[in-house]
Structure 1
Amino acid sequence: MTRSPDPVVIVGAGQSGLAAARAVRNAGLTPLVLEAGRQPTGSWPGYYDSLALFSPARFSAMPGLDFPGDPDHYPHRDEVADYLQRYAAGLDVEIRTGTQVQAVERDGRAFVARTADGQEVTAAAVVAASGSFSRPVRPELPGQESFTGKVVHVADYRDSKELAGLRVVVAGGGNSAVQVAYELTEVAQVDIASRRPLAFLPQRRDGHDVHHWLTSSGFDNLPAEWLIHSVHQTLVMDTGDYRAATESGRLRRREMFTGFDGETVIWPDGERERVDVVLLATGYLPNLEYLRPLGALTPDGLPLHQGGISSVLPGLVYLGLEFQRSFASNTLRGVSRDAAYVVGPLAAHVRDAPALAGL
Structure 2
Amino acid sequence: MLPDHVDVAVVGGGQAGLATAFYLQRAGLTPGRDLVVLDAADRPGGAWPRTWQGLRLFSPAGFSSLPGWMMPPWDDATRGYPPRDHVVDYLTRYEERYDLRVQRPHRVTAVTRADDDPDGRLLVHTDHHLVTARAVVSATGTWERPFWPRYPGMADFAGRLLHAAGYSTPGDFAGQHVVVVGGGNSAAQVLAEVSTVATTTWVTARTPRFLPDDVDGRVLFATARARIEALEQGREHAGVGGLGDIVMVASVKDARERGVLEARAMFAALDNGGVVWADGTRQDCDAVIWCTGFRPALQHLRPLGLRTHDGRIPVGGPSGTAALAEPRLHLVGYGDWTGPASATLAGVGPSARATAAILTGR
Sort the TM-score into its range (normalised by shorter chain). Answer: 0.7 to 0.9
**1-side partners of 2:172 and 2:156: how far apart?**
23
Structure 1 unmatched ranges of 5 or more: 352-359
**1-side partners of 2:348 and 2:333: how far apart?**
6
For residue 10 of structure 2, give the secondary structure of its aligned residue in structure 1: strand
Residue 350 (structure 2) pairs with residue 337 (structure 1)? yes
For residues 239-278 of structure 1, the C-alpha deviation after alignment (integer angstroms, 9 at most, x for no partner) is 2663674586333211111111221211233202211111
For residues 276-304 of structure 1, the C-alpha deviation after alignment (integer angstroms, 9 at most, x for no partner) is 11101011111110000111222553222
**2-side partners of 1:246 and 1:196: how far apart?**
18
Structure 2 unmatched ranges of 5 or more: none
For residue 247 of structure 2, give the secondary structure of its aligned residue in structure 1: strand
Q: Name the structure 2 match of 1:238.
A: 248
- Counterpart of 2:228 in structure 1: which amino acid? P
Residue 90 (structure 2) pairs with residue 79 (structure 1)? no
Q: Name the structure 1 match of 2:228.
A: 223
Q: Name the structure 1 match of 2:301.
A: 291
Q: CA RMSD in A?
A: 2.6
Q: Name the structure 2 match of 1:51.
A: 55
Q: Name the structure 1 match of 2:44.
A: 40
Residue 328 of structure 1: how far off its partner (Å):
2.5
Q: Name the structure 1 match of 2:21.
A: 21
TM-score (norm 1): 0.86
Indicate conservation of the 8 Å contact 1:110/1:123, yes or no: yes
| Identity between Structure 1 and Structure 2 (%) | 37
**1-side partners of 2:61 and 2:226: how far apart?**
20
Residue 111 (structure 2) pairs with residue 104 (structure 1)? yes
Q: Name the structure 2 match of 1:62.
A: 66
Structure-to-structure mapping, 1:89-168, within 5 angstroms: 89-107=96-114, 108=117, 109-117=120-128, 119-168=129-178
Out of 324-333 and 40-49, give the one that drifted further. Answer: 324-333
**2-side partners of 1:14 and 1:66: how far apart?**
16
Q: Name the structure 2 match of 1:31.
A: 35
For residue 264 of structure 2, give the secondary structure of its aligned residue in structure 1: strand
For residue 324 of structure 1, give the secondary structure of its aligned residue in structure 2: helix
Indicate conservation of the 8 Å contact 1:136/1:283, yes or no: yes
**2-side partners of 1:223 and 1:333: how far apart?**
16
Indicate conservation of the 8 Å contact 2:60/2:82, yes or no: yes
Q: Which runs of 4+ in 1 moved over 4 A?
A: 224-227, 229-234
User: Aligned pair in 2 of structure 1 residues 328, 255: CA closer, same or farther (>3 Å)?
Assistant: same
**2-side partners of 1:204 and 1:111: how far apart?**
48
User: Aligned pair in 2 of structure 1 residues 141, 213: CA closer, same or farther (>3 Å)?
Assistant: closer
Q: Name the structure 2 match of 1:346.
A: 359
TM-score (norm 2): 0.86
For residue 95 of structure 1, give the secondary structure of its aligned residue in structure 2: coil
For residues 286-324 of structure 1, the C-alpha deviation after alignment (integer angstroms, 9 at most, x for no partner) is 111000011122255322223322111011111111223
- Counterpart of 1:13 in structure 2: which amino acid? G
For residues 186-224 of structure 1, the C-alpha deviation after alignment (integer angstroms, 9 at most, x for no partner) is 11111211111111113525xxxx344446x56435328
Pairs aligned (count) = 338
**2-side partners of 1:232 and 1:122: how far apart?**
40
User: Aligned pair in 2 of structure 1 residues 185, 327: CA closer, same or farther (>3 Å)?
Assistant: farther
